[in-house]
Structure 1
Amino acid sequence: MVRQRRSRPRLAPYLFAAPAIVLYIVFMLIPVGYAIWLSLRAYRLEGGGMLGRRVDVFVGLENYFSVLSDPELIASFGRLAIYGIIAVPLTLGLSLLFALLLDVPAVRAKRFSRTAIFVPYAVPGVVAALLWGFMYLPSTSPFSYITESMGLGGIPFLENPGLFGSLANIAIWGGVGFNMIIIFTSLRGIPAELYESARLDGANEIQIALRVKVPLVMPAVILTTVFSLIGTLQLYGEPMTLKPMTSAISQSWAPLMTIYRDAFITDNLPAAAASSTILALGTVLVSVIVLRLANRKTMEAVK
């Protein structure tokens, strides 16, 4: 009886973690493993003619070389980079700015402002893209109506190069609230004694924000940076939703759109699996690089 009682606590952590582990294996590891296995295969026509049949053969890294040399996929990564250069810094900058403003003691209506900034994040991405799409269309855009009434002509929201800013605006509008909540929560965890000491030394609110608050919330800023980069690499819903509204968005405008085309339109699952694997590895690599650089700067600051 004593041995049984002692063995129960040892099994308890594994029993509590078992459902999460099973879900992770079933919905994460197995699909990833299957995608990697599929990326090493290819379809070949055996027998020729109308009586030929499609067979699945092992081709090694052939799909990866083919994908990496695909000009459409490379161009989609270039467009994604331009989109990220616009969306990520503005999202993080506005999130940090709003969090710092809401943390100022003299600011009123903090709860209302915090909720108002966060509400766009609760709107599904497809719905947000549709809403902004009608704001961008020349026939329904209130912005183009104002400029046309002033004799300036319509605003080309859905044409290059303004398309990048239009897509980035949707991501910024929806992502600022989520990142702001993370940074604001980190700000609320800073001891009030640090602010009092800074005020006693003669620092104003701007100096406190720049020299006390920002350095202390850098871990939260780094975390939101990683989230924003991952979200950028997974861009799909916004350009796919706006695609029927403009000819500037092709079927392979973003990497995930190219993967969708290969998988469900051209029925080239091995190429789609190889592209997905490359995109996943790129996401992990970018996240690791950002975290390494952030940790290095933190260690240098501590020294």
Structure 2
Amino acid sequence: MRRAPYAFLAPAVVLFLLFFALPIGYAIYLSLRKVEVKGLGLGPGARDEVWAGLSNYTDALSDSELLDGALRVLGYGALVVPLMLGSALLFALMLDTERVRFTTFTRLAIFLPYAIPGVIAALLWGFLYLPDVSPFTYVLDSVGLPPPNMLDGGPLFIALTNIAVWGGTGFNMIVIYTSLRSIPVEVYEAARLDGCSQLQLALRVKIPMVAPSLVLTFFFSIIATLQVFAEPTTLKPLTNSLTSTWSPLMKVYTDAFGNNDIHSAAAQAVIIAVATLLMSFGFLRVANRRTKQEEAR
């Protein structure tokens, strides 16, 4: 009987090792090696895999394309995360009021875009952005307004942000709304007895009490934003403004499968994973510290 718990845990442990720990370990192993070419690189034995140490990491950290992609993703995240979480919080607060009707249908309508795969969502919005087929272009032309080119220059960031916010708001709204529904009714009754209006109730009671959910959604949103890949890759054939190295993960994919440099791509992937972990952990520590300070007051 003492071995029963280990027997129940064994399938999960095996799956964790095979599909999580082993791929990470293999990526680290590849990142520490490189291919050495002899002569013209033709014939047997002309290409050998040798130990590279940290050279792949130093090359990746000095790669201007990777650094430029990281800066673009940070700017993209500065737009996506506040808009997505702000919209999710607003929708959750609106659904939590007593005056709202058809809440089940409304929750489903807001959540539905999250159920659409990112590639499909990018394709749908991509065709809506194309001037030749977009109904928005027709409407703007009808009223005499010049249609903006959403796939070029600065509007491209807005186009990508719109896809991410449209697809991710529903999930975050459900998380925050569930947290709101778990607040005891007595808290609301006490606030109303103290003279709180609906706005004061939202700002002084609801938002502070769902702060842990906001931290959780912010944490997940940061990770998803730093790993953006599907949306720009899908829109790339529709515009020349998106390069194959627009985001760090696109750079990794291009080096691994376009340039056949799997070792450099592995080093870049490890750097991206470590940077994402450090940023997420840092934001989480700051949020927990502020929460503890507020509780101490």
Q: TM-score range by the shorter chain?
A: over 0.9
Find the counterpart in structure 1 of residue 116 from structure 2.
Answer: 123
Conservation of the 8 A alpha-carbon contact between 1:45 and 1:55:
yes
Q: Which moves more between the two structures, 114-123 or 150-159?
A: 150-159
Q: Check the 8 A contact 1:147/1:155 in 2, yes or no.
A: no
- Structure 2 SS opposite 1:42: strand
**C-alpha deviation, 1:13, in angstroms:** 2.4
Q: Does 2:262 match 1:269? A: yes
1:71 aligns with 2:72: no
- Aligned counterpart in structure 2 of residue 15 of structure 1, from 7, 11, 21: 7
Displacement, 1:47?
4.8
- 1:44 paired residue number: 36
Name the SS for the 1:55 alignment partner.
strand
* Structure-2 change in CA distance of 1:36 and 1:49 (3 Å): closer
Match status 1:214 vs 2:207: yes
Cα deviations by residue, 1:163-211 (Å, 9 ceiling, x for unpaired): 0010010010010000000111111111010000000010011111110
Please, which of 27, 30, 39 is the counterpart of residue 35 of structure 1?
A: 27
1:99 matched to 2:84? The reply is: no
- State the shift of 1:48 in Å: 4.6
Partner letter of residue 271 of structure 1? S
- The correspondence for 2:189, drawn from 181, 187, 196, is 196
After TM superposition, the structure 1 stretch with the greater mean CA deviation from structure 2, 192-201 or 286-295, is: 286-295
Q: 2:168 — aligned with what?
A: 175
CA contact (8 A) 1:41 1:270 kept: yes
**What number of residue pairs does the alignment pair up?**
295
The question of 1:162 aligning with 2:186 is answered no
> One-letter code of the match for 1:19?
P
The residue number in structure 1 matching 2:278 is 285
Q: For the Cα contact (< 8 Å) 1:157–1:163, is it kept in 2?
A: yes
Q: Structure 1: how far apart are the matches of 2:69 and 2:42?
A: 36
**Whole-angstrom distance in 1 between the partners of 2:39 and 2:19:** 37
Q: Distance in 1 between the 2:9 and 2:197 partners?
A: 48
Equivalent residue number for residue 246 of structure 1: 239
Q: Give the Cα separation in 2 of the matches to 1:243 and 1:116.
A: 29
Q: Which of 80, 84, 103 lines up with 1:87 in the alignment?
A: 80
Tell me if 1:25 matches 2:17. yes
**Percent identical residues:** 53
Q: Name the counterpart of 2:141.
A: 148
**What residue is the counterpart of 1:295 in the other structure?**
288
The letter for the 1-side match of 2:52 is: V
Change (3 A) 1:48 1:134: closer
3-state SS of 2:34 partner: strand
CA offsets 1:23-42 (integer angstroms, 9 cap, x no match):
11111111000100100101
Cα separation, 2, equivalents of 1:89 and 1:16: 42
Unaligned runs of 5+ residues in structure 1 are: 1-7
Task: Tell me which amino acid in the other structure corresponds to 2:12.
Answer: A
Supply the AA of the counterpart residue of 2:10.
A
CA RMSD of aligned residues (A): 1.1
The equivalent of 1:132 in structure 2 is 125
Alpha-carbon offset, residue 78 of structure 1:
1.1
Pair 1:54-2:47 in alignment = yes
TM-score, L = length of structure 2: 0.97
Relative distance call for 1:120 and 1:55 in structure 2 (3 A) is same
Matched, 1:226 2:237: no
Structure 1 residue 14: deviation in Å? 2.0
Distance 2:3 2:291 in 1: 38
Describe the superposition over 1:24-80 as per-residue Cα deviations: whole angstroms up to 9, x where unpaired: 111111100010010010111135564461001111110011011111111111111
SS in 2 for 1:274: helix
Match of 1:4? none
Whether contact under 8 Å (1:132, 1:170) holds in the other structure is yes
